[in-house]
Amino acid sequence: MGFKDILVHVDSTAASRGRLKLALLLADCFGGRLIGLHVTPDASVPPYFKPSAIERIARIYTTNAHAAAKRAEALFRNETKRTGAPVVWECISGVMDERIAERARFADLLVIGQFDAENPPSISSFSLPAKVVFDSASPIIVVPNERDTGDIGKHIVAAWDGSPEAARAIRDAIPLLRRAKRVMLLAVDPDEQGHIPGGADALQMADHLLRHGVEAIVEEISSGGSNVSEMLSMQAAEFSADLLIMGAYGHSRVLEFIVGGTTVRVLENTKTPVFISR
């Protein structure tokens, strides 16, 4: 069991280098193929421009987008030229989050940045991972944009509340959990969770992981009224975690973005790579 097709989103910014380093390490570790993906956004001109300027602005957007695509490919080629793993480069156009999610359905794992630093929100989704996860049907590793990431997964914190989303994320992450030196199964307010009668039952999940060769420390804490996303981040820092595993919560994209939620807050503020599934 492992990740045989690893898709990594590559743009023309410096943050892509960290994502590529991580994706390459994972491809080498699991004997997988690395697929670099760049999405060129459609030249959608914001309505505040004068009608007489729209055509000229659209040409500028298109020129800039094509130049960014060339820089992204050059970065990918340079970073992968010494790898022994098979590599593939793909450049497609369209709506950023939709095209990435569609392509990720044909991969075992997607590696993506914390947000799209290359394009303004008027062109593409700023909170890219939080939108992609709802349509990709594959697990995702979200790499903080400011992190020049090397290897991950030596010290892992897995968030557990008994929900189907949390169970799916942990199950999808088993190949990484097996490689870890230390694993913490973290339940915040376990007695208040309504997903399973009687609470989150972290000990039962720990027993299940043990059957897969993963020995996990169980930590049950009270939020004390604090924000759950802040508690997760704090515990990850105290554990010196280099990976946080969590389910992507929310019943729909619209609800998640209107109300906000643990998933979105963690992804927007995390300094630690996050493994998410839904």
Place of tokens 């055509």: 55
Q: How far apart are CA 236 and CA 159, in angstroms?
A: 10
The confidence score (pLDDT) of residue 241 equals 94
The CATH architecture to which 155-277 belongs is 3-Layer(aba) Sandwich (3.40)
Pairing mode, if any, of strands 155-159 and 33-40?
Answer: unpaired
Q: Any idea what DSSP says for residue 226?
A: S
Q: How far apart are CA 252 and CA 163, in angstroms?
A: 16
Q: Any idea what DSSP says for residue 52?
A: H
Q: Give yes or no on whether 5-143 and 155-277 have one common fold.
A: yes
The confidence score (pLDDT) of residue 221 equals 87
Pick 5-143's CATH classification: 3.40.50.1110, 1.20.120.1200, 3.30.300.30, 3.40.50.620.
3.40.50.620
The confidence score (pLDDT) of residue 126 equals 45
The confidence score (pLDDT) of residue 176 equals 97
Q: For 4-27, how does the pLDDT look when each residue is reduced to its tens digit (9 = 90+)?
A: 999 999 998 888 899 999 999 999
> Which residues lie closer than 8 Å to 33 by C-beta, 6 or more apart?
4, 5, 6, 27, 85, 86, 87, 88
Q: For 120-129, how does the pLDDT look when each residue is reduced to its tens digit (9 = 90+)?
A: 555 444 467 7
The confidence score (pLDDT) of residue 215 equals 96
Structure tokens at 73: 């490919």
The confidence score (pLDDT) of residue 63 equals 81
Residues of the chain where predicted confidence (pLDDT) is lower than 70: 1, 43-58, 115-127, 130, 147-149, 190-200, 249-261, 263
- CA 122, chain centre distance (Å): 22
Prediction pTM value: 0.87
Residue 57 near residue 1 (C-beta atoms within 8 A):
no
Residue 11 near residue 76 (C-beta atoms within 8 A):
no
140-143 sheet: strands from edge to edge: 87-93, 33-40, 5-9, 109-113, 140-143, 274-277, 243-247, 155-159, 182-188, 217-221
Domain ranges of the chain: 5-143, 155-277
Q: What value, to the nearest 5°, has the Cα angle with vertex 213 and ends 8 and 195?
A: 75
- Angle formed by the axes of helices 262-269 and 228-238, nearest 10°: 50
Dihedral angle sign, alpha carbons of residues 257, 107, 75, 24 = positive
The confidence score (pLDDT) of residue 2 equals 83
DSSP annotation string for 66-134 = HHHHHHHHHHHHHHHTT-SS-EEEEEEES-HHHHHHHHHTTSSEEEEESS--SS-TTTS-SSHHHHHHH
Structure tokens at 238: 């105290």
Q: Any idea what DSSP says for residue 239?
A: T
